Amino acid sequence: MRIVAHSAAREDADLTARARIRDVAIRCFAEEGFDASVRRIAQKADVSPGLITHHFGSKAGLRAECDDEVLRRYSEVENDAIDQPAGSIGHLLASPGANAEVLVYMLRAVHAGGPAAHDFLERLIDNARGVMARAVTAGMVRPSRDEEARLRYLAYQATGAMLVQFITMPGATPDEFVASLQAAGQDQILPTLELYTEGLLTDGTLLEQYLTHAESPEGGTTHDR
């Protein structure tokens, strides 16, 4: 019994250490970028580099687990917005949603480029796909002729807009960057809601022209109408 109890306690301690290292790594990557070394992360987590290797195998393994956790946390934020639509405008005015570390980590993950960035963005879109479907089912969002194309457009637009602000604020901490989003958000919420609710064009002429072209043999694409 002593051995079993000791093993269970040790396993719990290992899980706790693993989660703590992961959370510190998320913070470190958000603050310093993905060039942050394992030694630096170990120092901030108050563990040995060897313990990080023990739990994650490598820095790439650590980043993969950080990606998983960041995407999980962001998905929770997005789903909460669907579950609590009545209070969402007050939340929108007060906060950009995900906490600073999660948001900046996501931007760094995309900005880093390469296959890892592509995979991260695809997983972000995968998560958003379910959220968008829930929003359509709940009646918050109109259905689209091409749900996938709209989803990707919105993901690229939102990520790209924040990325522009992020790369023009070199040296800003995650908290400073999110504070800048909050300040700018007061000017951006009205046009965003206008565009998403009322649209930009005064009539459907251009849309009808595009749909006619897309459904023709020359267009090569068919959209359900």
Give mean pLDDT in consecutive 10-residue pieces for the chain, a chain of 225 residues.
37 71 96 95 95 95 96 84 54 54 94 93 92 89 94 92 92 90 78 90 94 81 50
The answer to whether 16 touches 40, Cβ cutoff 8 Å, is no
Q: Tell me the C-alpha distance between 165 and 103, whole Å.
A: 12
Q: Note whether residue 82 is domain-resident.
A: yes
> Is the pTM here over 0.85, yes or no?
no
Q: Note whether residue 224 is domain-resident.
A: no
Q: Specify the pLDDT at position 53.
A: 95
Q: Specify the pLDDT at position 1.
A: 31
Residue 85 maps to which CATH number? 1.10.357.10
Q: Note whether residue 207 is domain-resident.
A: yes
Q: Specify the pLDDT at position 23.
A: 94
Going by C-alpha positions, the residue among 133, 129, 149 that lies closest to residue 141 is 133
Q: Specify the pLDDT at position 9.
A: 46
Which residue range(s) make up the domain with 75? 2-214
Q: Note whether residue 13 is domain-resident.
A: yes
Q: Note whether residue 100 is domain-resident.
A: yes
Q: Note whether residue 200 is domain-resident.
A: yes
Task: Centre a 10 Å sphere on the Cβ of residue 174 and count the other Cβ atoms it contains.
Answer: 20
Q: Specify the pLDDT at position 110.
A: 95
Q: Note whether residue 222 is domain-resident.
A: no
Q: Specify the pLDDT at position 135.
A: 87
How many domains does the chain contain in total? 1
Q: Specify the pLDDT at position 3.
A: 31
Q: Specify the pLDDT at position 21.
A: 95
The DSSP output letter for 217 is: T
Q: Note whether residue 221 is domain-resident.
A: no
Write the Ramachandran bin of 172: left for phi over 0, alpha for psi from -120 to 50, otherwise beta. Answer: beta
Task: Centre a 10 Å sphere on the Cβ of residue 196 and count the other Cβ atoms it contains.
Answer: 12
